[in-house]
Amino acid sequence: MNHGQIGFALAMVLAGMAAPASAQPAGTFVNPIFPGGGQDPSILRWAGAYYLVQSRGGAIRVFRSPTLTGFGETEGVRIWWDRKDGSRLNQLWAPELVALDGKFYIYFAAATDGHRSRRMYALEADSPTGPYRFKGKVADRSDRWAIDGSVLEQRGKRYFVWSGWAGSEPDQGQNLYIAAMRNPWTIAGERRLLSQPDQAWEKIGREPINEGPEALHHDGRLFLVYSASHSMTDDYCLGMLTYQGKGDPLDARAWTKSSGCVFSKNLAGGVFGPGHNTLVLSPDGRETWNVYHADAVSGCGWRCRTIRMQKVTWRKDGTPDFGVPVPIGTPVPVPSQVP
């Protein structure tokens, strides 16, 4: 598809996004859930509201909504940007919002001197919308290239999980690493290799990639959902590691990798490159929702990404079923509400 075709197709997508809500059946919503495009969603459910964090226009913004489908009606609060305060960070990527120990933390990747200088950093606040304090770099002793940091908790212990390079160059692709945490902004000990893109479905695009790890707890089981292959491709997808229930979470042998993508493109429905997700409960806490970004235009890469969501169901064996990505404009039942 050439640039003219992509531009026309994207215009049609945006026109569809602007369709009036009155055309939807009652009790439903349509994707995308966030206007104007978006990527790498992170949503925190807290005190009866939802908080979405995004990197936009060189700044990190937090959007508050009483529902998962109401972000189009909110204005974001700009909570961090490149300032002359000693941090000197730019190219802010994939912020992740979490609540830990009575505080709120945003982990994000940023560069100081070009792409190879990209590392993880942490902000702290007393409220999801700030003001935020800069806590510094989140890194182990190797201090290698790092993005997409998130927190995993298991049996009272806390771990930091992220995507990084084995060395100083991207020639080996991006792996998933894990390390114990001393506190919400400090890693304790060395990083441990958790997963590397060693399967064909993880190697599509410029480099083989594992990134965007997100923990998923359900009925006493632990899963780590991640994104595989290059995010510029139609074949970007979700993979999954399953914790076996015993053994050290720092040990890759305690985890089993899925045999293929657990959530991938829908050619018939016009959904391409679905990935980099966040997992959040419905208002009544009974449903798990997968919030992710995807393209509606094949070959459009980063330019056409929008944020969508759909419900996760559960198989009899206790594993999640992410289903097939639904096309933009398809009515989807709203998340279950508090009675």
Q: List active site positions.
A: 40, 211
Which whole-number Å values give the CA distances from 183 to 73, 122, 163, 282, in the listed order? 35, 11, 20, 29
Q: Is the dihedral of CA 249, 148, 115, 89 positive or negative?
A: negative
Neighbours of 169 (CB within 10 A): 9
C-beta of residue 186 within 8 angstroms of C-beta of residue 121: no
Tokens of 251: 């040990």
Pull the structure tokens for residue 296.
């509606």
Measured CA to CA in angstroms, residue 168 lies from 115, 116, 127, 143, 146 at distances of: 11, 8, 36, 10, 11
What value does the CA radius of gyration of the chain take, rounded to a whole number of Å? Answer: 19
Tell me the residue length of the chain. 339
